Amino acid sequence: MDLLCKYAAEDADITFQLKQILEGELKENGLENLFYEIEMPLLRVLSIMERNGVRIDSEALRQSSEILTAELLVIEKEIHDLVGFSFNVSSPAQVGEILFDRLKLDDKAKKTKTGQYSTSEDILEKIRSKHPIIGKILDFRGLKKLLSTYIDALPLLINQRTGKVHTSFNQTVAATGRLSSTNPNLQNIPIRDAQGKEIRKAFIPDDGCVFLSADYSQIELRIMAHLSGDKNMLDAFNSGLDIHTATAAKIYKIPVEEVTSDMRRKAKTANFGIIYGISTFGLSERLTIPRAEAKELIDGYFATYPDVKRYMDECIQRAKENGYVETIFGRKRFLSDINSQNSVVRGFAERNAINAPIQGSAADIIKIAMVNIQKRLFAENLQTKMTMQVHDELNFTVPEVEIEQARKVVVEEMENVLKLKVPLIADCGVGKNWLEAH
């Protein structure tokens, strides 16, 4: 018999047999709802998104590329002028020699396995102040990376047949339950800095359409407020105030109007740090404050939100008893190290025990929103197309005549996935491109 036949038939046979096993496993683990009602319908939505693809303004990227390449050459020349002769700035070996053998910027410079000087970013950052050339080398590298990973790479991903970029979404990669994507990896695009903006500008809507971008506001903190049921945190959200300002006011026991930007910054770091199980040490590093102050901040935080502390302890307790933690929709994260006798190993598992239900629930929620939005787009016969999902954000290309209807559908479906003890809020913007819409 033809071997291709044998291989292909066997593949189907194995998958069939696996299915019989997995079906039982899903049931035993209470995962049927998550599987049949969320992941399988989502699979269809993702296939639609992948087929839709997203339009890229390759002309704009070509222009950016020209400008940035010219900039790159200028920086390269400046670097050569500083040294007095030309060398290959892209070669770490040559950079190492220049910095450490010629300029002698660090007499304790480390060498790598291959006998070269290490010129990694963190090493250069440490000696940045010693010579203006360092800053220039870092700029050179940053620009070069931006060009090679995005500006010059994105146009290459454009499918010749459709003229669009068709990202692949993967439902089975991230341990938390989040989606991941490749070609391009949307989760990785820099957000805030000027460079990220250049990239976002190049994602554009179809002809006659606008780019619509909607994202959940503070979804992870809202989920923590919901799961912990902490009265003060619920109040803070329900008051409609900025959550970090409200948190700062409570920690420092002052009226909201007296919260300084520094206090807000600290409260914000604490808010997000707590979700990820940050330690006193971690917080002090992050905020560059003394450990004693970090400890005070954390103590103040837990005094303000006592049920958050209780919730965290319960998560760990639950993980210890069951060997796993769960999201609101029953997605499990198994934590076999939770009972380790070793505190470092255990610590990792404990942080995951706190974080997984929060991040995983956020992932469940946006997945449900995607399924429901697509249903409504079909039901209301809209031409709006969902194109990308990035963390807590959904992006669409929307015909101009449908803007208001699409906005309504998207925001309603995102906010009404389920009723939490605090409102789910989705912010929505439109524009000529991703940057403007976001």
Partner 1 sequence: MDKKLFLIDAYAIIYRAYYAFIRAPRINSKGLNTSAIYGFVNTLEDVLKREKPTHIAVAFDPSGPTFRHEAYDLYKAQRESTPEDIKLAVPYIKKIIQAYNIPILEVAGYEADDVIGTVSKMAEKEGFTVFMLTPDKDYGQLVSDNIYMYRPKHTGGFEVMGPAEIKAKYDLDSHEQVIDLLGLMGDSADNIPGCPGVGEKTAVKLLKEYGSIDTLLTRTSELKGALKEKVENNKEQIVFSRFLATIKIDVPIEFNEKALEIEPVNDAELKALFDELEFRTMTQNKFGAKPFTSLPPDEATNAIQFARPKSPAGQMSLFDAFDKPEEKIIARQAPKAIQVLEPVAENELLTLKNVSYNYQLVDTKVKRADLISKLFMQKSVCFDTETTGVDVFTAEMVGLSFCFVKGEAYYVTLPNERVEALEVLKEFKAFFQSEHIEKVGQNIKFDLLMLSMYGIELKGKLFDTMIAHYLVQPKSWLVEKEKIRWIFVLSIWICFANMLPKMPILPFS
Site stretch for partner 1 (CB under 8 A), options 157-165, 190-198, 201-209, 375-383 = 157-165
- 258 Cβ contact partners less than 8 Å away, ≥ 6 residues apart: 249
Q: Are 267 and 251 in contact (CB under 8 A)?
A: yes
Nearer to partner 1, 66 or 121 (CB): 121
Q: How many other β-carbons are positioned within 10 Å of the β-carbon of residue 42?
A: 20
173 near partner 1, rule: CB under 8 A: yes
Q: Is 74 in the site for partner 1 (CB under 8 A)?
A: no
d(CA 429, CA 219): 17
Confirm or reject binding of residue 112 to partner 1 (CB under 8 A): yes
Contact flags string 321-360 toward partner 1, x per CB under 8 A: ----------xx-x-x---xxxxxx--x------------
- The string of DSSP codes covering 22-49 is HHHHHHHTT-HIIIIIIIHHHHHHHHHH
Residue of 435, 389, 411, 432 whose CA lies nearest to 208: 432
Confirm or reject binding of residue 317 to partner 1 (CB under 8 A).
Answer: no
Minimum Å gap between C-beta 324 and partner 1 is: 8
State yes or no: residue 231 binds partner 1 (CB under 8 A): no
Out of 63, 91, 120, 238, the residue judged to bind partner 1 by CB under 8 A? 120
Stretch that binds partner 1, among 136-144, 172-180, 356-364, 372-380 (CB under 8 A): 172-180
Residue from 90, 162, 188, 239 binding partner 1 (CB under 8 A): 162
Tell whether residue 25 is a contact of partner 1 (CB under 8 A).
yes
Q: Using CB under 8 A, which of the segments 13-21, 98-106, 277-285, 356-364 binds partner 1?
A: 13-21
Q: Which is nearer to partner 1, 194 or 344 (CB)?
A: 344
Three-state DSSP at 326 gives: strand
Is 182 a binder of partner 1 (CB under 8 A)? yes
The secondary structure of residue 62, as a DSSP letter, is H
The residue with tokens 């949307």 is 186
Q: Binders of partner 1 among 39-58, rule CB under 8 A? A: 39-40, 43-44, 46-47, 50-51
Cα-flanking dihedrals φ and ψ of residue 324, to 5°?
-150, 165
Binding region for partner 1 (CB under 8 A) out of 79-87, 168-176, 216-224, 261-269: 168-176
Q: Which two tokens stand for residue 316?
A: 């760990």
412 near 191, Cβ under 8 Å? Answer: no
Identify the DSSP state of 186. G
Is the Cβ–Cβ distance between 83 and 95 less than 8 Å? no
Compute CA 242 distance to the chain's CA centroid, rounded to the nearest angstrom: 22
Of the candidates 419, 14, 396, the residue with the CA atom closest to the CA atom of residue 215: 396
Token pair, residue 288, equals: 């560059």
The residue among 165 and 233 lying less far from partner 1, judged by its C-beta, is: 165
- The binding site for partner 1 (CB under 8 A) comprises 1-23, 25-26, 29, 31, 34-36, 39-40, 43-44, 46-47, 50-51, 110-113, 118, 120, 159, 161-162, 166, 171-173, 175, 182, 331-332, 334, 336, 340-345, 348
